């Protein structure tokens, strides 16, 4: 069964304390993996798309990587404004061009 | 350029009542989507419209209907609301189906 999981469910970091969020997927024929950021009371905001294993994308303090079974969102020296829920979504052959979202990781960065 | 707008922002219904959630985008996108988001679960696709004049069911379409009124607007209707439809509803649009898109701010719906 196709599935997208994210870990941890919640993560608390001190400002400057680097860490990684995980998105694991079991899907038939990955077309793309997407990362979004969601602030409380708002809609998700697109961050990255990754298409093939080994690919990496960076934006400010965030770097996303992709393997054949999982993706990591690395956060380097986070700041309080990085606090948000981070969602990953996969696009797989079985779902046509639709997305399957994971449940998200809630990140809190304390000053 | 407002992006994706949704109305209303909040709504409380009684079981059996009906309502329509409105969504509009000003980016000239072809594809539009309706998702629901529940605690502990990922966003789930209710319906989508790949282009003006077409609509298709997503993962959880039961209890909902949609209308793609024109290229800009995509509405979601609950004919007879049930407590299981208590959720946050997001509309999204993208240039083409399958590409990353823009989400609206959401409608928080409670069905008593």
| pLDDT tens digits, one per residue of B22-81 | 999 999 999 999 999 998 888 999 999 998 889 999 999 999 999 998 999 999 999 999
* Chain A residue at shortest CA distance from B99: A97
Query: Does residue A101 belong to the interface with chain B, where contact is any CB pair within 8 Å?
Result: yes
Enumerate the residues of chain A whose CB falls inside 8 A of the CB of residue B100: 34, 46, 49
Enumerate the residues of chain A whose CB falls inside 8 A of the CB of residue B105: 41-43
How far apart are the CA of A16 and the nearest CA of chain B, in angstroms?
Answer: 28
**By CB neighbour count within 10 A (0-12 exposed, 13-18 middle, 19+ buried), where does B51 fall?**
middle
* Structure-block tokens of residue A13: 């970091």
Q: Which residues of chain A have pLDDT under 70?
A: 1, 94-95
* Chain B residue at shortest CA distance from A94: B59
Helix (H, G, I), strand (E, B) or coil at A42: coil
pLDDT of B60 reads 95
B97–A44 C-beta distance less than 8 A: no
* Chain centroid offset of residue B76 CA: 5
CA–CA dist B58, B34 (Å, integer):
9
How far apart are the CA of B43 and the nearest CA of chain A, in angstroms?
Answer: 6
For residue B110, what pLDDT band results from cuts at 50, 70 and 90?
Answer: very high
């Amino acid at each position: 069964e196709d599935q997208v999981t994210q870990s941890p469910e919640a993560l608390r970091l001190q400002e400057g304390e680097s860490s990684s969020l995980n998105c694991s997927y079991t899907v038939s024929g990955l077309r793309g993996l997407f990362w979004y950021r969601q602030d409380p009371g708002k809609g998700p905001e697109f961050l990255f798309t990754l298409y093939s294993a080994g690919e990496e994308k960076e934006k400010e303090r965030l770097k996303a990587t992709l393997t054949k079974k999982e993706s990591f969102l690395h956060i380097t020296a986070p700041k309080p404004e990085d606090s948000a829920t981070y969602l990953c979504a996969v696009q797989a052959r079985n779902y046509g061009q639709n997305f399957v979202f994971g449940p998200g990781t809630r990140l809190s960065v304390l000053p | 350029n407002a992006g994706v707008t949704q109305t209303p922002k909040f709504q409380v219904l009684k079981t059996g009542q009906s309502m329509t959630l409105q969504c509009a985008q000003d980016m000239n996108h072809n594809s539009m989507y309706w998702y629901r988001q529940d605690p502990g679960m990922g966003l789930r696709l209710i319906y989508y419209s790949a282009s003006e004049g077409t609509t298709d069911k997503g993962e959880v379409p039961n209890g909902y209907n949609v209308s793609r009124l024109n290229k800009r607007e995509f509405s979601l209707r609950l004919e007879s609301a049930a407590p299981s439809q208590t959720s946050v509803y997001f509309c999204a649009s993208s240039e083409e189906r399958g590409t990353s898109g823009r989400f609206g701010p959401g409608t928080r719906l409670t069905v008593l």
